[in-house]
Structure 1
Amino acid sequence: MFVRRSWAVVLLLLLPGAGWAEDSPPLPTPPDSSSRWANLLSLETTTLTLLPQRVVGRDEGFLQVAPKLVVARPGVLHLGLGAPVRLRMWGGGEGAGLVRKEDWDTLSDWGQVVRILTVGGDAPNSLWMGALESYTLLSGHLVRRYNNRGNPDYHPAGVVVTGLMAPVYVEAFASDVLGARLMGAEVVLDAQHLLFGRPRNPLQYLLSLSAVHDWGKAGGNSEPMTLAHLDGTVILVRRGNTEGGFELQAMGGWGGRPGEGGAWGAVAGLGVEAVSSTLDLRARLEARLQRGGFRQGAFGPDYELARIQVAGPSALPQADAPFPEGSSAYGEVILSWDAEGLGVLGKRHFRLTMGAEAFSWGRVDVDGRLEAQVFHRNLTVAVGGVAMGMGQPAARYLASGEARWRFLGEWLYAVGQGGTLLFPTAEGTLRPGAFVAVGLGVDHVR
């Protein structure tokens, strides 16, 4: 086994795509930070324009002010506080307030004040809280690449808790710590350890059971939905040492919607991982079967919009929308590379994460994000997008981009952002729109 730091670290490595968020830029720390506290103060100010389409003369302009305070000690605590406050400059219609009310009109919206909270460092026994930007629940056959802030008017903080008591590993999550929304867990069992005692090479044969329930009581009401999945994983090849290595896994599973007969699905596939000091590559390829409306990865990158209105001609919420019976092929790749080394989280010269699924009846879903740090890391450029239901009527497309350029001793930076959005309406539909933001930021690290 090429990684021996802990059971759960190995577990996360051999389950491709595991992890609770797209990694955000880290808090810079002094070289001997292992025994020191560090802090970061920053203030970012931009002009933000929201451009709802199909509503003439209803664009809105804001001065967006985003303060941030971060304190951290590696392996102990990482706390980041701060949230963007949008102060109206124009638009919004009669009676519109100074602050954009959709950003703070529910209890869940106050979760955005917690940008990140980690207690206990890495798994196996840890707590993580913040935005779930691309969260995958271990095996990923229920929750995969999920974004809890896909709805631009809903800003919850999610939480992930992990724990290990050999031979059992557990990961549980909630998408909204202040509201009754997605909640679930996955329990992983080292079968060889259970049957024959602690093995020389742990985590060679795994069984896992996951279950997720959407209460539908926050971010707009929706019908409750419950999914469950049983999985098995076998390590076919494992090579390497403490500096890196290679793994090849085979996996298979079966899932369904408890209480709804005939709603089930099956999956089988292969996963690989190659790790070195400068490269981290994770990939998987799966064949899937869907019956009775069940589909793998139902809680995915588009779910916060699909729970209001799915992509496609039905225009129904996902809990009620029909899903054709058939099969699909799913592929995912997560690639991080850095010429100086990947030891510091968030410092990567190149990162690509992409998932795609093609269905036998003609539908294709794709989502991804590409990020690059160039010119001595002074310029960061990122583009991302989601395309749901391609090949079918009423497909859904969303795209965004961002650039950050540091100058004047790297403590001052310029930022530009833009992209498309879908805003929920009171009628239970989604209204297309766009956003553009430009501005400056300043930060100070100690």
Structure 2
Amino acid sequence: MSDTTTSAGENSAEIPAFPMSKNTAACPFDPAPDLYTQRQEGPLTRVRLWDGSTPWLVTGYNDQRSVLADPRVSANLNTPGFPSTSPPVAAAKTSLFRMDDPEHARLRRMITAPFAIKRVNAMRPAVQKIVDDQIDAMLAGPKPVDLVEAFALPVPSVVISELLGVPYDAHEFFQDNSQIMASRNSTPEQKSGAVRTLIEYLHGLISDKVSNPGDDLLSGLAEPIKTGELTQQEAAGLGILLLAAGHETTANMIALGTLALLQHPDQLALLRESEDPKVVTSAVEELLRYLNIAHDGRLRAATEDFEVAGQIIHAGEGLIMPNEIGNRDPEIFDDPDRLDITRDARRHVAFGFGVHQCLGQSLARVELQIVYSTLYKRIPTLKLATELDQIPFKDDGIIYGVYKLPVTW
């Protein structure tokens, strides 16, 4: 058992900076090389953040799950020692991501039902039609085409807009503001402004639904607003979270997953030629394990002393769990740096773990299963319309993916 501490100023220049840069030129699908280096040094190492603080980096799969399930850690930005990977945005403090129980459980319970597996599976025909309509539009238009703009963004945007009851004609407005919120190049003022803009819009939309509720998720919040269980501000915050998370992450997974498959033609052929839905399900789980969309990992702060991997973590110390290196743990996944859609990858931590595990994971899985089982069959000759080194990767934000993906057929 070890009981070592490192202050923010103690040898901080020798501690690697976090977030760590990916080697997109050589290995665009792999974790940052420094994450592998830190894993070799030990299960817990120190990293240095923008403010000079030095939280713990947790690289092992089992250790990450242990921390994320521990009630002695907090996801709240206001907790002493919380490891913010960029200057915090005031509005982010009200996000469901950044709340602890019981407040987190109270709000999450109000939006859980629409994401239940049975409810989401009932949406499959509607999602299938959205996917087919977007492919029809692509096939009818000129080529090459940017798959991000023509397909990867519209599909989840339409799905989440219909689920929430948000007019789809506002999708560019939401995309623009969510990209400002996700970019590391945005100033805190720009991020706060984007949040305020979205909250103002959703305030108005929710007010309309309180007066004239429909059959959608935001309308479902009308009753708790009327009874005082939920404030309109809280409802607007939930709406922002669901809109941003519901289209940004899935859109990037569609585009990056397609690029990964195009770079692994044997795996793409196996997926395209199979009629077994289990192969599609397996491919989705493996791509979720192999790729990484949430770029800054899961962030927590210790509220009490506890031990992980033989190391005493003291109250007030921060912890960072990058899921991409956890999902490449060789003790859990054989040959983890290889894409293999036949492996059982269901244990991955792409959606996190514990009480903050991704609420929308069932919806994301359904969308990805339909996309991956449809796109490559309907366009079997799909291929890149440029070289890999010409593709612009998203190295500047908390959501990883590609800005553009030129394809043809």
Determine which structure has greater relative contact order: mean sequence separation of CA pairs < 8 Å that are 6+ residues apart, divided by chain length.
2
Regarding TM over 0.5, the answer is: no
TM-score by length of 2: 0.26
- Higher percent of residues as strand: 1
